Amino acid sequence: MRTSFLVAVGLLALSSLASAGPPDIMNAKVVTEPAGASLSSSVGNHLNQATEARWIAWSVPAVEGHRYLCCWGRGDKLSRRGACSLESRDRHFVMSDGHDFDRPPEVREIAVLVRAEDHGVEEVRVYSETCQLDAGGRTFIWLESAKVDQSVAWLASLIDEVVDLGDPEDLAEEALLALALHEGAAADSELASIASAGPSGSLREEAIFWLGEARGQAGLEVLNRLLDDEMDTDIKTHVAFALTLSSAPGAIDRLTTLARQDPEPEVRGDALFWLGQEGGAGAVEAIQSAVESDPSRDVREQAIFALSQLPNGQGTDLLLEIVRDKSQEASVRQQALFWLAQSEDDRALDLISGLLQ
């Protein structure tokens, strides 16, 4: 038993060492060196030397929940599972939570790649440890043993720099994606900061998206705080969508509360829309309640649409009831009839035929 235990520990240690090395890289001149005490200084030194295009890269532990981070390029005639061509401009990023690609193993490490040229940062990419990369003949500098908090800090500083210089935000959004997939509290904190008071509305929205998509319970706590404190209606509607992306317990409950109680009709309407996509008993009850009693006509009509969107025809019976109920206001009955007409449900077709006789 002791021998088996020691063998298992040894294999785990070898696996950890292997994951710290460069990714599966081809067509590259690979230079490996320590990240050193300061990742920012190491990256800065290589940026200063980058008169011609090169790649600077390191790995960090990945946030839980994702199974595939790669791409394929039609322009390079690569197969979907072929090497990801770093230098191609015709590429397609693929991200999976494990429902596709034959459920590859969950990502443990991500590689953060920086394309440097003319002493500056041109692009930021992030790939899983299982993704094969083709560097197109460029120098590929691999920084070993990078610290996750330092990686988060460098990416956050790049985002600030891009915005301060007035550059297009594509690069900032690439850095934000990479940051969002880092494990740990430092990434949670930076995303929370950008979501709450980011340098632009679009970056705030991106941060909110990733808080829901990638950050689990910590992300949900930030989204809840935003809903409690935020005054911007557009931001709150983005939070409503982010709640549907969250796997954390309580996310859909908060969306239901938003649909019932938010003071802004636009926010309630958006929350009802997303509840219609989610379905379930709680969603049906909240949508039905809005149809019956929401003070805003627009929200009541949005609730009718949400009923039509419920999965597996969950809302059809309720729409039929609304059309038949002559005590309902005419506009609500008309909306219900319109959406029933879009369905392929035989009961809806029978009702419409009866009304036309």
Would 218 be classed as within a structural domain? no
Would 192 be classed as within a structural domain? no
**Higher per-residue confidence, 303 vs 11:** 303
**Higher per-residue confidence, 16 vs 113:** 113
Would 174 be classed as within a structural domain? no
Q: Which tens digit of pLDDT belongs to each residue from 309-355?
A: 998 888 888 888 888 888 888 888 888 888 887 777 777 666 666 66
Which residues form the domain of 353? 256-357
Which helix (H) or strand (E) segment holds residue 286: the answer is helix 281-293
Residue 348, pLDDT score:
66
> Is a pLDDT exceeding 60 seen at residue 289?
yes
Candidate ranges 4-18, 21-35, 85-99; pick with highest mean pLDDT: 21-35
Residue 168, pLDDT score:
75
DSSP 75: T
Residue 254, pLDDT score:
97
What total of structural domains would you count in the chain?
A: 2
> 133, 149 in Cβ contact below 8 A?
no
CA atoms of 216 and 214, how far apart (whole Å) = 6
Give strand pairing partners of 72. Answer: 92
Q: 320: domain CATH number?
A: 1.25.10.10
Lookup result for tokens 């995303």: 191
Count CA within 13 A, CB hemisphere, residue 191. 33
Tell the burial category of 326 from Cβ atoms under 10 Å away from its Cβ (0-12, 13-18, 19+). Answer: exposed
**Higher per-residue confidence, 236 vs 50:** 236
Would 80 be classed as within a structural domain? yes
Which whole number is the average pLDDT over 158-184? 91
Q: Which tens digit of pLDDT belongs to each residue from 76-103?
A: 444 445 678 898 875 555 665 544 445 5
Of the chain, the percentage scoring pLDDT greater than 90 comes to: 61
When pLDDT is cut at 50, 70 and 90, the band that residue 112 belongs to is very high
**Higher per-residue confidence, 144 vs 98:** 144
Q: Which residues contact 255 (CB under 8 A, 6 or more apart)?
A: 240, 243, 244, 271, 274, 275, 278
Residue 305, pLDDT score:
94
Would 211 be classed as within a structural domain? no
Identify residue 52 by its one-letter amino acid code.
E
Q: Nearest to residue 214, comparing CAs of 60, 87, 107, 327?
A: 107
Cβ count near 315 (within 10 Å): 29
Lookup result for tokens 């191609």: 88
Residue 354, pLDDT score:
64
When pLDDT is cut at 50, 70 and 90, the band that residue 267 belongs to is very high
- Among residues 145, 163, 179, the one where a domain terminates is 145
- Among residues 145, 177, 208, the one where a domain terminates is 145
Residue 357, pLDDT score:
54
Would 301 be classed as within a structural domain? yes
Residue 347, pLDDT score:
73
Would 77 be classed as within a structural domain? yes
Residue 20, pLDDT score:
56
- Among residues 96, 123, 145, the one where a domain terminates is 145
Of the chain, the percentage scoring pLDDT greater than 70 comes to: 83
When pLDDT is cut at 50, 70 and 90, the band that residue 356 belongs to is low
Mean confidence (pLDDT) of the chain: 85
CA torsion 266→271→275→278, rounded to 10°? 120
Which helix (H) or strand (E) segment holds residue 189: the answer is helix 185-197
Q: Which tens digit of pLDDT belongs to each residue from 197-238?
A: 988 889 999 999 999 999 999 999 999 999 999 999 999 999
What is the pTM for the complete model shown? Answer: 0.85
Would 201 be classed as within a structural domain? no
Largest CA distance in the chain: 83
Q: Nearest to residue 39, comparing CAs of 186, 253, 174, 213?
A: 186
The values of phi and psi at residue 354, to 5°, are -65, -40
